[in-house]
């Protein structure tokens, strides 16, 4: 669309197509948007401004934003007072409230950006739907919803306003799994966590966002057809009143900048865990990590440790202090472990497993670990970023979901496409050991999962290539901007 030179499009800012993206709190929202911005620059000569919230302004985020190419600039909204919200307010409510209160400030930012840039589109994710009001006020005609997860989540949200009326009781009490068009049947208790308690304000926020999603000119989804084939077919068919849907994923970190996306990185230039992996046989290590925001209760930490030991398999475990005093997503805004996590593993565990295991506190370079030849499995919380990273690097998964949409992701991956084995609900050490061995030795479901993931890896990479499905979908979106004379 526009010629590039040294990562920056040629031409004046007034003529280069420019996109503004609002990333609601959470690195899981910021990272894929940043990767979308990179792709827009490299493939189409489009520049981007990433707008983030003051509540997530940290050394971690600063380092990540500083690592982006010159075609992507960033700025932060001013802080907003949320002290009137009660203690224990859910993350979903906090994000929604912060976005709603930011509309006047965001309108001012967008208006100023339009004065010096050829702004062709505004993009935000699901929790930023109220920011469409700012785009309206600033006169930005094209507004897009970005779904950082998958088509299953999008389908649930598109149907949520009607489900809110037709299912008066709690979703977790549904007698049968919820069957949505093209989707894997999802048991009620595994549906999106903020939908589980209808009396909680976060539920009404989700219905609110879902109701506004149809205002988007189009919906961009960080997924690819092969991992959700049936629902992809359904959503590719145009439907009156629903924006067109474009599968543009997988959007994952495209280079090893992973030191900037978790907590404070090690002082050495290369993480010690990678040196340890260098000494392990190929495909012999299971990587254990619950994402940048997840933590386990003490008892589950203990059973996990003993299960890993009992399995006899090599492991690399990112350990965080337990979530006993809060929620399993306690680390959402700050991925650092709140206390020394090693004091919470069973006594003698580190010494007994020193020949087969490696523990790190809070942080590991996940992209580098998954890409390492010694890594043969991933025990994951099923956050969508982690899921896509695992698939792109061909690593089969054990599913141990914690919050958000992770439970329904686990159902889709394990019972739908067959890219993961679900860890039993009763997290006993014997059961954990059994599934770890099954995955790592390639027995039983382990063999099937390995085959499926290898195929999905090929599909994902082909889709990102020139003429691939993801590249073609994004090009179709960008073509609409070429005629925009604003």
8 A C-beta contact, residue 367 and residue 324 = no
pLDDT digits (tens, 9 = 90+) for 421-453: 999 999 999 999 999 999 999 999 999 999 999
Q: Which string of DSSP letters, residue by residue, matches 45-87?
A: --EEEEEE-GGG-SHHHHHHHHTS-TTEEEEEPPP---TTSPT
| C-alpha to C-alpha distances, 120 to 20, 21, 465, nearest whole angstrom | 8, 11, 25
The confidence score (pLDDT) of residue 270 equals: 79
Question: Quick one: average pLDDT of 388-404?
Answer: 97
Please name the residue that has the structure tokens 């208006």: 111
Question: Quick one: average pLDDT of 67-75?
Answer: 96
The confidence score (pLDDT) of residue 333 equals: 53
The confidence score (pLDDT) of residue 258 equals: 41
Rounded CA separation 241/263 (Å): 42
Q: Is 197 marked active-site? A: no
Q: Is 29 marked active-site? A: yes
Q: How confident is the model at residue 56 (pLDDT cuts 50, 70, 90)?
A: confident
Element (H, E) at 319: strand 314-319
Catalytic residue of the set 18, 29, 44, 393: 29
Whole-number average pLDDT of the chain: 91
Q: State both tokens at 486.
A: 């604003």
Residue 326 has pLDDT above 90, yes or no: no
The confidence score (pLDDT) of residue 4 equals: 53
pLDDT digits (tens, 9 = 90+) for 185-230: 999 999 999 999 999 999 999 999 999 999 999 999 999 999 999 9
Q: Which tops the pLDDT comparison, 414 or 336?
A: 414
8 A C-beta contact, residue 49 and residue 21 = yes
Catalytic residue of the set 18, 44, 118, 125: 125
Please name the residue that has the structure tokens 């014997």: 430
What angle do helix axes 429-441 and 298-311 make, rounded to 10 degrees? 50
Residue 257 has pLDDT above 90, yes or no: no
Rounded CA separation 35/272 (Å): 27
Residue 20 has pLDDT above 80, yes or no: yes
| β-strand partners of 378 | 287, 397
Element (H, E) at 110: helix 103-116
* CB neighbour list of residue 227: distance below 8 Å, 6 or more residues apart: 150, 391, 417, 419, 456, 459, 460
């Amino acid at each position: 669309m526009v010629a590039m030179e040294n990562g920056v499009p040629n031409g004046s800012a007034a003529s280069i197509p420019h996109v503004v993206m609002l990333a609601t709190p959470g690195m899981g929202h910021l990272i894929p948007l940043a990767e979308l911005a990179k792709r827009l620059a490299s493939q189409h000569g489009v520049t981007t401004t990433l707008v983030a919230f003051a509540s997530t302004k940290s050394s971690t985020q600063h380092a990540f934003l500083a690592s982006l190419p010159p075609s992507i600039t960033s700025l932060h909204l001013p802080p907003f007072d949320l002290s009137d919200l009660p203690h224990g307010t859910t993350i979903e409510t906090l994000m929604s409230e912060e976005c709603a209160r930011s509309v006047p400030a965001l309108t001012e930012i967008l208006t100023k950006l339009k004065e010096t840039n050829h702004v062709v589109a505004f993009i935000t994710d699901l929790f930023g739907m109220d920011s469409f009001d700012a785009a309206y006020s600033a006169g930005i005609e094209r507004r897009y919803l970005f779904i950082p997860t998958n088509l299953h989540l999008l389908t649930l949200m598109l149907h949520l306003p009607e489900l809110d009326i037709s299912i008066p009781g709690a979703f977790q009490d549904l007698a049968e799994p919820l069957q949505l068009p093209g989707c894997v049947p999802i048991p009620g208790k595994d549906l999106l966590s903020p939908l589980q308690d209808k009396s909680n304000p976060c539920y009404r926020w989700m219905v609110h966002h879902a109701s506004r999603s149809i205002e988007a000119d189009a919906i961009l989804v960080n997924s690819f057809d092969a991992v959700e084939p049936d629902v992809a077919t359904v959503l590719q068919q145009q439907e009156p009143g629903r924006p067109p849907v474009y599968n543009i994923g997988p959007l994952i970190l495209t280079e090893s900048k992973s030191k900037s996306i978790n907590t404070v990185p090690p002082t050495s230039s290369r993480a010690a865990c990678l040196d340890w992996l260098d000494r392990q046989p190929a495909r012999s290590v299971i990587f254990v990590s619950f994402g940048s925001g997840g933590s386990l209760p003490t008892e589950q930490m203990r059973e996990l440790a003993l299960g890993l030991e009992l399995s006899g398999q090599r492991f690399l475990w990112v350990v965080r202090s337990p979530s006993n005093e809060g929620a399993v997503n306690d680390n959402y805004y700050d991925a650092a472990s709140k206390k020394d996590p090693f004091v919470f593993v069973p006594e003698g565990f580190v010494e007994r497993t020193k020949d087969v295991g490696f523990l790190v506190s809070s942080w590991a370079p996940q992209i580098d670990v998954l890409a390492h030849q010694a890594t043969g499995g991933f025990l994951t919380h099923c956050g969508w970023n982690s899921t896509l990273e695992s698939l792109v690097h061909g690593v089969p998964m054990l599913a141990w979901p914690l919050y958000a949409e992770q439970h329904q992701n686990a159902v889709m991956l394990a019972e739908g496409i067959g890219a993961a084995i679900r860890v039993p609900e009763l997290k006993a050490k014997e059961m954990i050991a059994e599934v770890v061995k099954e995955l790592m030795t390639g027995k039983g479901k382990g063999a099937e999962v390995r085959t499926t993931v290898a195929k999905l890896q090929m599909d994902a990479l082909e889709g990102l290539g020139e003429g691939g499905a993801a590249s073609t979908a994004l090009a179709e979106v960008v073509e609409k901007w070429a005629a925009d004379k604003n």
